[in-house]
Amino acid sequence: RSLRICRRGPPSVLCSSMMFLRLALLLVVPMEALSFVASAARVRPSLTVRAVSEGDIASSVDLDQPHKGRGLLKAVPLGVGCASPQCVVTNSDLEGVVETSDEWIRTRTGISQRRVLGDYDESSESVANLATQAAKNALEAAKCDAADLDLVILCTSSPDDLFGDASTVARNLGASNAVAFDLTAACSGFLFGTVTASQFLHNGAFRRALVIGADALSRWVDWDDRNTCILFGDGAGAMVLGATETEGQGGVLGFAMHSDGGGHDQLNLLFKGEPRDLATPQGTRVVGGSYNAIQMNGREVYRFAVSRVPQVLDEALRNADITVEQVDWLLLHQANIRIMEAVADRLGIPKEKIITNLSDYGNTSAASIPLALAEAVASGKVKKGDVIACAGFGAGLSWGAAIFQWGGDVNADGLLDPFARAYGPPPQN
């Protein structure tokens, strides 16, 4: 590991000295020169230290220190499950849709096929139904009753209902005691949702939580654009988390999350208004709602990912107080095999430790991490006690990482029992 600031001598004295020195530099040295000073003070090869401004002196001093409150969360994974549509579209199938080839797609992305939803019908495949099936599989794996859930978070950018699908999924499961809501953070969604749910478990508000990632971006791609239509598929994955009162039972060991709206133009799915004039006395124009297809600057998104993801994983490892050598598996958002390999290379993680099912499913957005994890657990690849470095990244732009230890057990010592219910489900009409 590289050198760490404020580890020699009393931390408070050295950190205060660093802050005073940077403040003095800010007052007397031109900003152009200060950028050189900041560059020379870089302490980790993977981190880029900006020239500091007066507003961020305090936060920039401890770049290499664990961040208080972003370490261990007493929330242990109990089970994981997944679901995907029946319809498979191979790279060869797409040769008749756009100018492309199986070889061209595989060598540039690592994708061989993807699964897509067909015609929408509430009684057939839909985002809510995929999410429900993945959740049922996770609950079964966790040996958890849906009625014991306190929280259901559905991470999605493509719900069937613009108002959200989480409450529908909770109803489908029989999770009558849970509060349910959607969380939108694109391909970072499941990572952000897992950290959010773990906070509720850690602080004692809830005992059992279900986090689902589900998306159907095949609905929102331009099937005449070979740069985007080849990438995306549909699917769902879910994980059950339980609150624990003791350490050492697995769970979230450390995390970090970020976003930067300055990169919004590189990847988006924008509102498209259709004006309509209303015959009011004064004349009123309103806008009917629809959306454009996904727009992505692939080159810039790649540069963003291979830069930011190693940084945020490094940050999460420090918050977890573990080294990269202690990581058993690297699980990234399944966007592009080149990104995964580049991140692994930057961190010094062997490629054999990368968990991926990108070839079979494509980029399933918020579903990609739990879908890949579910298959890795089911196959026996991921075992109890394994440390997984996980990162999501995507539109926003947003990115985050969590280090967690697999191997929750409903019979483990320290796992808190579900809340006793003083009330039953609401009456049915």
pLDDT tens by residue, 100-121: 999 999 999 999 999 999 876 6
Instruction: Specify the amino acid at residue 113.
Output: Q
227 is catalytic: no
Residue 390 pairs with which residues in a beta bridge? 331, 402
Nearest Cα to Cα of residue 331 among 398, 278, 400, 250:
400
HSE value, Cβ hemisphere, 13 Å, CA-based, for 291: 14
Measure the CA angle with vertex 124, ends 123 and 127; round to 5°.
105
pTM of the model: 0.82
Q: Rounded to an integer, what distance in angstroms lies between the CA atom of residue 356 and that of residue 368?
A: 9
Q: Rounded to an integer, what distance in angstroms lies between the CA atom of residue 106 and that of residue 92?
A: 11
How is residue 191 written in tokens? 């990572």
> Do residues 188 and 336 make contact, with C-beta atoms less than 8 angstroms apart?
no
By CB atoms closer than 10 A (0-12, 13-18, 19+), residue 12 is: exposed
> Do residues 331 and 390 make contact, with C-beta atoms less than 8 angstroms apart?
yes
Q: Rounded to an integer, what distance in angstroms lies between the CA atom of residue 319 and that of residue 71?
A: 5
Torsion angles phi and psi, residue 115, rounded to 5: -115, 140
For residue 410, what pLDDT is reported? Answer: 54
Torsion angles phi and psi, residue 105, rounded to 5: -70, -45
> Do residues 213 and 185 make contact, with C-beta atoms less than 8 angstroms apart?
no
Task: Find all residues with CB under 8 Å of 151, minimum gap 6, and list them.
Answer: 178, 179, 180, 197, 200, 206, 208, 209, 210
363 is catalytic: yes
Active-site residue (options: 6, 82, 187, 390): 187
Instruction: Specify the amino acid at residue 155.
Output: C
333 is catalytic: yes
The neighbour count for residue 361, using CB atoms within 10 Å, is 26
> Do residues 281 and 289 make contact, with C-beta atoms less than 8 angstroms apart?
no
Active-site residue (options: 137, 177, 336, 363): 363
Torsion of CA 243, 150, 70, 325, to 10 degrees: 60
Q: Rounded to an integer, what distance in angstroms lies between the CA atom of residue 417 and that of residue 80?
A: 19
Task: For the chain of 429 residues, list the mean pLDDT of each consecutive stretch of 10.
Answer: 34 44 43 35 35 38 71 92 96 96 96 90 82 98 96 98 97 97 97 97 95 97 95 98 80 95 94 93 93 94 96 97 96 98 97 98 98 96 95 96 82 71 51
Active-site residue (options: 6, 333, 336, 357): 333
Torsion of CA 52, 55, 59, 60, to 10 degrees: 0
Q: If one looks up domain 74-265+294-406 in CATH, what number appears?
A: 3.40.47.10
Measure the CA angle with vertex 340, ends 335 and 343; round to 5°.
130
Q: Rounded to an integer, what distance in angstroms lies between the CA atom of residue 355 and that of residue 357?
A: 7
Nearest Cα to Cα of residue 373 among 384, 361, 382, 364:
382
Q: Rounded to an integer, what distance in angstroms lies between the CA atom of residue 241 and that of residue 211?
A: 8
For residue 352, what pLDDT is reported? Answer: 97
For residue 409, what pLDDT is reported? Answer: 59
Task: Find all residues with CB under 8 Å of 293, minimum gap 6, and list them.
Answer: 220, 221, 222, 225, 228, 269
Strands 75-83 and 234-243: antiparallel
Q: What share of the chain is helix, strand, coil (3-state, %, to 5)?
A: 35, 25, 40
Residue 211 pairs with which residues in a beta bridge? 153, 239
Question: What is the enclosing helix (H) or strand (E) of 331?
Answer: strand 329-332
Measure the CA angle with vertex 135, ends 130 and 136; round to 5°.
100
Q: Rounded to an integer, what distance in angstroms lies between the CA atom of residue 240 and that of residue 264?
A: 32
How is residue 99 written in tokens? 């100018």
